[in-house]
Structure 1
Amino acid sequence: MDARPVAIVGYDDAELLDIACVTTTLGMANGIGDLRTPYRVTVVSPGRLPVTCGPGLVLQSGQALERLTGPVDTLIVSGGLGHARAATNPLVIAHVQRLARVSRRVASVCTGASVLAAAGLLDNRRATTHWRFADALAAQYPHIEVDPDPIYIRDGNISTAAGVTSALDLALAFVQEDHGVELARLVARNLVTYLQRPGNQAQMSMFTAAPPPDHDVVRRTVDHINANLDGDVSMAALARVAGVSPRHLTRQFLTHVGQTPGRFVRHARTAAAAHLVVTTSLPLPSVAARCGFGSAETLRLAFLRRYGIPPSRYRDVHGGTERTTPRA
């Protein structure tokens, strides 16, 4: 094969970033990598109809979905507001199923996972999607293990990426898999982004999650937790800060935050530690102490649970980031 055919499935109301993150990354790899097997990327759509991508944006399709034949190196289904219609379109589903059988690698971005799910390609697999749509996907397809946290998940030859710009991380991972880490690093530098975030990194972190809710008790408690990660943030202490019983505080957190205070504390500590690991040269025991972990080993276990890799590896993956040594 003198090229790697990559087909990106678009449809009415697809998300342009889902498509462009892939096309730009692979096109950049072609341009700077002098590849013996370059990527040949085609956007396909039902009937070769133009792909609407939001107000004033229309993307020309390169080929009709139903006329595309294999073999295909990588089949990628984009997400977008039109994903639910695409997932109930018999033509789309039938041809995604057909092409998946002749593709080395199959993937979805964002809500494109609903199309793969409707095609039966995610049955009995672990998958992710945009965090806003994860519960709906899990409810509709109980045979899929939906995990809303990771940026992308690989299960066999099928990958699912989370929301929107996670397509960039997945595309960089494909470049690294196909052509090595050095080209992936070079492409990332040209794109002015990280090499790529680890697939198991949470798509919602303390820096991108929604602000504390308007509920006064919960907001006051969240502010206290974030300001005192290395202090006493036990349930009893938080209940005293909030001026309510531990049981009432738990109920309010479940209602307004979607998790218990204890779990919120664990996630906040781990996210803060991840930020320090990447942006500073602090030794891991110091990171652990600043973020309320009893030891470097406790920090390591927290990283393994949350990100799937230890903090030392997490720091290596983000190599090249300028680090500082904060004051004590």
Structure 2
Amino acid sequence: MPERSLLVVLFDGVQSLDVTGPVEVFTGARRAVHDPAAYPLRTASLTGAPVRTTSGLQLVPDVSLADAPRAHTLVVPGGDGTRNPDPALVEWLRAHGPYAERLVSVCTGALLLGAAGLLDGRRATTHWAACELLARAHPSVTVEPDPIFVRDGNVLTSAGVTAGIDLALALVEEDHGREAALTVARHLVVFLRRPGNQAQFSAQLSAQTAHRAPLREVQRWIAEHPGDDLSVAALAARAALSPRHFARAFRAETGVTPGRYAERIRLEHARRLLEETADGVEAVSRAAGYGTPEAMRRAFVRTLGSPPTEYRRRFRAPAGR
């Protein structure tokens, strides 16, 4: 098989962005590494016939699955068609999935991998709304609802929709180095690693954006200064409100208390530093506003179930080549 060749599986009810997002990343990587032969890509449906996406778009595959060449990376997108899949598609995945060097699912494509037995005994993730379904249907799968993507050996599963772009960028970085992946990310105007890499929703996205400008400014300031004084009194002064009025207004407009919001931001910042830098735990704890490594350790164990050192071991980004 050609080096790092790609095969994207198509079916009726596929989510179009699950297909086009990763495809645009890998296609962009060809330009970034100045190699038009990088990531040779084919798409295939069961019979080779066009498929209709969940949004109504029609996609025309290159070949049928029966005629598809064996690929280095097999990409299985998600969509409504994963809920009651064609048994023939599941059987094809069961027979051919184990031979891929990398087996990748996007969003609810994990349901297809699960139905084919390809996630048995593995860790996996999927769209947050389908995590319970995946866990219930396949008890032997350890479903992790928080990560943007999970790698277990050569099987990689990603979270909802645009997380397929995150995963594809990570694979480009693994294959060709950080600069190539960063070039692609800049072209697509996306994060190379979105803030809070392992959370499907960053702290800023999981809370609502405040309506009033002073409160929005406070949200922005917290995100940019996690190591500063984030007490209610200090934040209220920045918004020119009394502490009591500020706390009430902030919660009403964002859905969380100022303290909880600040806690999420600090955790997110610490996670990003652990993932992307070689800074020691003590330095990270100071930069993220925890003050002491022990305070940060307690926050990590309470929220993520593992101490910072273990988190770094599991999720530290690979060095660019």
Q: TM-score, normalised by structure 1?
A: 0.69
> What is the match of residue 46 of structure 1?
46
**One-letter amino acid of the structure 1 residue matched with residue 7 of structure 2:** A
Contact 2:106–2:164, Cα closer than 8 Å, also in 1: yes
| Pairing partner for 1:162 from 153, 159, 162 | 159
**What is the DSSP-based 3-state SS (H/G/I as helix, E as strand, rest coil) of the residue aligned with 2:101?**
strand
> What is the match of residue 207 of structure 1?
204
Contact 1:152–1:199, Cα closer than 8 Å, also in 2: no
Q: For the structure 1 residues 166 and 55, does the alpha-carbon distance in structure 2 shift closer, same or farther, using more than 3 Å as the test?
A: closer
Q: CA deviation digits over 1:229-256, x for unaligned, max 9?
A: 7469xxxxxxxx99xxxxxxxxxxxxxx
What stretches of structure 2 of length at least 5 have no aligned partner? 210-221, 223-228, 234-246, 249-254, 274-282
Contact 2:196–2:203, Cα closer than 8 Å, also in 1: no
> What is the match of residue 213 of structure 2?
none
| Pairing partner for 2:264 from 267, 270, 273 | 270
**One-letter amino acid of the structure 1 residue matched with residue 199 of structure 2:** A
Q: CA deviation digits over 1:193-234, x for unaligned, max 9?
A: 22224895110233333759xxxxxxxxxxxxx9x97469xx
> What is the match of residue 84 of structure 1?
83
User: How do 1:65-144 residues align onto structure 2 when only pairs under 5 Å count?
Assistant: 65-70=65-70, 72-86=71-85, 89-144=86-141
Q: For the structure 1 residues 159 and 58, does the alpha-carbon distance in structure 2 shift closer, same or farther, using more than 3 Å as the test?
A: same
What is the distance in 2 between the residues matched to 1:151 and 1:285?
A: 23
Q: For the structure 1 residues 150 and 285, does the alpha-carbon distance in structure 2 shift closer, same or farther, using more than 3 Å as the test?
A: closer
**What is the DSSP-based 3-state SS (H/G/I as helix, E as strand, rest coil) of the residue aligned with 1:159?**
strand
Give how far 1:56 is off.
Answer: 3.8
Give how far 1:58 is off.
Answer: 1.0
| Pairing partner for 1:177 from 174, 184, 208 | 174
Q: CA deviation digits over 1:44-65, x for unaligned, max 9?
A: 1111122212344111111112
**What is the DSSP-based 3-state SS (H/G/I as helix, E as strand, rest coil) of the residue aligned with 1:138?**
helix
**One-letter amino acid of the structure 1 residue matched with residue 100 of structure 2:** S
What is the distance in 1 between the residues matched to 2:261 and 2:130?
A: 21
What is the distance in 1 between the residues matched to 2:64 and 2:196?
A: 32
What is the distance in 1 between the residues matched to 2:121 and 2:30?
A: 35
Identity %: 37
Q: CA deviation digits over 1:47-106, x for unaligned, max 9?
A: 112221234411111111222232x110011001111122xx221011112221321110
What is the distance in 2 between the residues matched to 1:23 and 1:285?
A: 38
Contact 1:127–1:159, Cα closer than 8 Å, also in 2: yes
**What is the DSSP-based 3-state SS (H/G/I as helix, E as strand, rest coil) of the residue aligned with 2:204?**
coil
Contact 2:203–2:268, Cα closer than 8 Å, also in 1: no
**What is the DSSP-based 3-state SS (H/G/I as helix, E as strand, rest coil) of the residue aligned with 2:79?**
coil
Q: For the structure 1 residues 196 and 205, does the alpha-carbon distance in structure 2 shift closer, same or farther, using more than 3 Å as the test?
A: closer
What is the distance in 2 between the residues matched to 1:270 and 1:307?
A: 15
Give how far 1:35 is off.
Answer: 3.0
How well do the aligned residues superpose, as a CA RMSD in angstroms? 3.8
Q: For the structure 1 residues 231 and 134, does the alpha-carbon distance in structure 2 shift closer, same or farther, using more than 3 Å as the test?
A: same
> What is the match of residue 147 of structure 2?
150
**One-letter amino acid of the structure 2 residue matched with residue 152 of structure 1:** F
Give how far 1:42 is off.
Answer: 1.4
User: How do 1:233-252 residues align onto structure 2 when only pairs under 5 Å count?
Assistant: none
What stretches of structure 1 of length at least 5 have no aligned partner? 213-225, 233-240, 243-256, 318-328
Q: For the structure 1 residues 201 and 162, does the alpha-carbon distance in structure 2 shift closer, same or farther, using more than 3 Å as the test?
A: same
> What is the match of residue 191 of structure 2?
194
What is the distance in 2 between the residues matched to 1:172 and 1:29?
A: 9
4+ aligned runs moved over 6 Å, structure 1: 265-268, 276-279, 307-313
Q: CA deviation digits over 1:116-162, x for unaligned, max 9?
A: 00010100100000001101110111100001100000000000000
Contact 2:122–2:142, Cα closer than 8 Å, also in 1: yes
What is the distance in 1 between the residues matched to 2:195 and 2:142?
A: 20
Contact 2:106–2:158, Cα closer than 8 Å, also in 1: yes
**What is the DSSP-based 3-state SS (H/G/I as helix, E as strand, rest coil) of the residue aligned with 1:150?**
coil
**One-letter amino acid of the structure 2 residue matched with residue 30 of structure 1:** R
> What is the match of residue 278 of structure 2?
none
Contact 2:108–2:130, Cα closer than 8 Å, also in 1: yes
**One-letter amino acid of the structure 2 residue matched with residue 34 of structure 1:** H
